[in-house]
Amino acid sequence: MAAAPLRAKTVYRPQARLEVFYTGGPAQLSDEGLLACACGDEVKVVEVASGRVLATLPGDSEPVTALAWSPSGQRLYTASRSLQQRAWDVAPLAAAGRETLDSSAAVGSAPDALPAAGAGGAAEAAPAAPLRAWRGHKGPVTDLITDASGGLLASAGADRAARVWDADGFFCTHVFHGHQGVVLRVLFHPKQLMLVSAGEDAEVRVWDLVDKSCVAMLKAHFSAVTSLSLSSDGWTLLSAARDKVAVLWDLRKYAKLATIPVHEAVEGAVIVPASAALPGMADPKRAAADATADRRAVYFATGGERGAVRLWRGDMGRCVYELHPGTAGASGASTAAATAPAAAGEELTGLALLPRGQGLLALTCDCRALFLRPAEVEGAAVLAPQPELIGNIDEVTDVRLVGPRGAPASVAVATNAPAIRLFDLATMACTATLRGHSEAVLALDALPARDGGAALLASGGKDRAVRLWDAASGACLAFGSGHAGAVAALAFARRGGGFLVSGGADRLLKVWDVKPHLAAAPAAQPAPAELRATAAVAAHDKDINAVAVAPNDSLVVTASQDRTAKVWQLPALVALHTLRGHRRGVWAATFSPVDQAVATASGDATVRLWALADGACLRTFEGHAASVLRIAFLSAGTQMVSAGADGLVKLWGVRSAECVATFDEHEGKVWAMDVGGEAESLLVTGGADARVAVWRDCTAADAAAAAAGAAEAAVMAQQLSNALQAEDFAAAAALAFELRQARRLLAVVDAALARGPKAAADILGSLVASLDAEQLKQCLEFCREWNTHSRHCHAAQATLQAVLRHHPPQALLAVPGVGALLDALAAYSQRHAARLDRLRRSTFLLDYTLAAMRARRKKVMRSAAHANGAPGDSAGTHAEHAKHAKVLGSELGSISKGARITGVGAKVKRKRKGLLGTE
């Protein structure tokens, strides 16, 4: 069977993307499964069940400081550092988010994900403006909350005051002063008209909304109180502070029930109802029996600086369950005691109870939202993150497609963090987190799975280590040490993956033997083995930025900041060529899959192609406006794709050295890029904007669509021609609009105008009367185009007149972009009016000329009558008459010419009359 012809690629389109939707700060979950997150000065509303951003609420250029949902989920209240509070109507979003939160299916963490398998539908439209915006506090608002009915809204402020607002009228009903510091938290009593507040002064105050007074001041803390929570009956209050203790209060007596040392500064705490049945809690029936016997057990959960979620039994003062989400295994559970502080970014900043007590929501310092739900692993009850939404993956340093060759299933992403995350390509869900590096990971490379084996992943980081991972299980198989600086470049062997090449800041090029680990089962290795280096050489004078292995595993190329790239012979690492010519550091290098050539990308904004035979530069590719950071070959070496610091991805023809297409999806440097899939159909890019984009080759689909469109357009063009011949103007105009061809519609209008002014007005009126807003915009665009030419201005003016007669101003104002369209039409219409006015004025000169000629003719006729004289005149008199006759002949010649001019003048008058009528 003959091979399919090679098709050059022309179009890649984003299929899915990971973007920032949470930058830290407040985040609130609604009962409908919607998570409102602060993202700078904006608020992103995320659907938990799918991970999609449903709406973005615009900000006022100041960071968001507080959020609150109404009990019905129909409204969202926000506050920012500008002191402004806003109320938003989000009822359409609430309807879109009514999905159960206890779904066991993995969900994506891909905000604004484009339609993909499992990604769901399109995003909902965000409200353009809030229902109401107001200011009440003299300092930033630190907390917002609504009461159980949704009729009252409470706010805590940095001005040491707590305020209560009418949620419908947006006016202040109560102002409570008394705290000696910033008020951090407010909480409504579920059954009584009471408000509880806590602040930096370590005090908890209870306010009576009827008497508008403070009825109790609860003192037991010595630092800022960061959390308040009430039991379901409203009479047990939990307060937790940064003084590392949690206190339970009886609100009936305003007395302290228990003080529980939690041994960490608490940022979030919540009372857990007995019905939640979280790991470590007593059986719900037993808890109910204890409550009946007046031995009520109070459970609460805490989270803070240690990065652990801990469940406590308050009446006993002991921890009954502990989870470390940052260091959990595949099950997401750990019951070991936490004595060490959390790693950077893994501290918990908030904790809340999921709707209907289905688990806990934990917010981390590195902008993750963990939905912890009860699960069973190996017969033990645990809390597992299902799902984990990553609000900000941070600056992306490298990406690699992972899975079988030709059909990768996931993408590995390295960021400015020690962890490597794997995302499913279908749903963009975070499926695994690989932990082992102690500092940021800088480089990745993947070895595709073969013969039913697992795919391997190699990583190098600032901790000077090289690690080998099993991508399926997330287990670290081996590690290599020996580099004296950060490892910034990695490359597996292309045939079989028997070795791994690394380079970095220490300028060393190393070759590692990975054959013993290709078939190793992760379960059979209790600890990672140590990689053995088989060769090493001091390769460059400055940092090594990239390494690549030739398709036949005989050569390796290195790219360095010393402005050179070098080709080395394997396995002994013998230098063959030094490629010189770049004016700045070389960021990337790769071998052609078919030719004896290597391509390099540099900070001088160029890509160069070099011959391996002698190291000569064959071609230079110019087009980027900044450093070129990544390159890869496509289409059997006939094309290249490059990514640069200008945020652009460019597609090149290797033979022509011309840019075929430019793709713009990033807002910063594109540090990472990988190509894979069947026939290189997938392209993944990652950049400094904390965004990962998955692109798919749409060349064939676009070509097929273009061919189908051309065939359909040909059929419709013939139908339009037939309609014009049959004088079916309505059908012809409809086809012209569908074809979006101004020339075709112009033919219809000209045919209507040929029937006369009255008939044309009737025909055009019937054509434009039924146009919708989109067609009306298209019609005005066509008129704008025609109106730019004096030859077609009459058709434009006639069509415009019909539009203005049959569509009221309100309908025209609803057309998108109508202002710019009318401005363009008015400008050219004024020009045509001035031209017609000049033409009309010029015809008056002919009137004057003809009138003067008629007067002259009368004078000449009188002279002719005098020239005929009487019969008895003398010879002298006859000579004088002959002279007058000669003059008369010349005058009569002029008069004959004047007759012809008179005919022209009549024609001009008729033309002028027609112009005035058209005008």
Q: Are 528 and 514 in contact (CB under 8 A)?
A: no
Q: Give residue-wise pLDDT tens across range 168-190.
A: 999 999 999 999 999 999 999 99
pLDDT at 274: 82
Q: Token pair of 37, please?
A: 């997150």
Strands 34-39 vs 27-29: parallel, antiparallel or unpaired: antiparallel
Please give the Cα distance from 413 to 393 (Å, whole number). 9
Please give the Cα distance from 803 to 769 (Å, whole number). 7
- Region 552-560 average pLDDT: 96
pLDDT at 867: 62
Q: Give residue-wise pLDDT tens across range 217-249.
A: 999 999 999 999 999 889 999 999 999 999 999
Please give the Cα distance from 3 to 277 (Å, whole number). 61
Q: Give residue-wise pLDDT tens across range 739-792.
A: 887 888 888 888 888 888 888 888 888 888 888 888 888 888 888 888 888 888
Query: Comparing C-alpha atoms, which of 132, 158, 148, 154 is closest to residue 65?
Result: 158
pLDDT at 176: 96
Q: Give residue-wise pLDDT tens across range 154-168.
A: 999 999 999 999 999
- Region 623-639 average pLDDT: 96
What is the 8-class DSSP label of residue 440? -
Q: Give residue-wise pLDDT tens across range 649-659.
A: 999 999 999 99
Give yes or no for residue 827 having a pLDDT over 60.
yes
**How many other CB atoms are there within 10 angstroms of residue 14's CB atom?**
16
Given pLDDT bands bounded at 50, 70 and 90, which one contains residue 214?
very high
pLDDT at 909: 52
pLDDT at 119: 37
Please give the Cα distance from 408 to 674 (Å, whole number). 12
**b or e along 100-123 (b: 16 or more beta carbons within 10 Å of the residue's beta carbon)?**
ebeeeebbbbbbbbbebebbbeeb
pLDDT at 499: 95
Token pair 């490298």 in the structure block, residue: 398
* Burial class of 637 by CB neighbour count within 10 A (0 to 12, 13 to 18, 19+): middle
* Burial class of 196 by CB neighbour count within 10 A (0 to 12, 13 to 18, 19+): buried
Q: DSSP states of 540-552 as a string? A: -SS-EEEEEE-TT
- Region 638-665 average pLDDT: 95
- Region 260-287 average pLDDT: 83
Q: Give residue-wise pLDDT tens across range 902-914.
A: 454 555 455 545 5
pLDDT higher at 41 or 519: 41
Give yes or no for residue 296 having a pLDDT over 70.
no
Give yes or no for residue 811 having a pLDDT over 80.
yes
- Mean pLDDT for the chain? 85
pLDDT at 113: 38
Query: Comparing C-alpha atoms, which of 48, 28, 31, 32 is closest to residue 98?
Result: 32
Q: Which of 31-35, 46-50, 148-152, 428-432 has the highest mean pLDDT?
A: 148-152
Please report, rounded to a whole number, the percentage of residues in the chain having pLDDT higher than 90: 54
pLDDT at 484: 95
Give yes or no for residue 900 having a pLDDT over 60.
no
Give yes or no for residue 121 having a pLDDT over 60.
no
pLDDT at 916: 43
**Backbone φ and ψ of 656, nearest 5°:** -85, -20
Q: How many residues does the chain have?
A: 919
pLDDT at 117: 31
Which residue type sits at 360? L
- Region 262-277 average pLDDT: 91
pLDDT at 880: 58
Q: Give residue-wise pLDDT tens across range 672-690.
A: 999 998 888 899 999 999 9
Could you tell me the CA-to-CA distances from 407 to 113, 245, 398, 448, 677 in Å, in that order?
A: 21, 53, 20, 9, 5
The pTM of the full predicted model, rounded to 2 decimals, is: 0.78
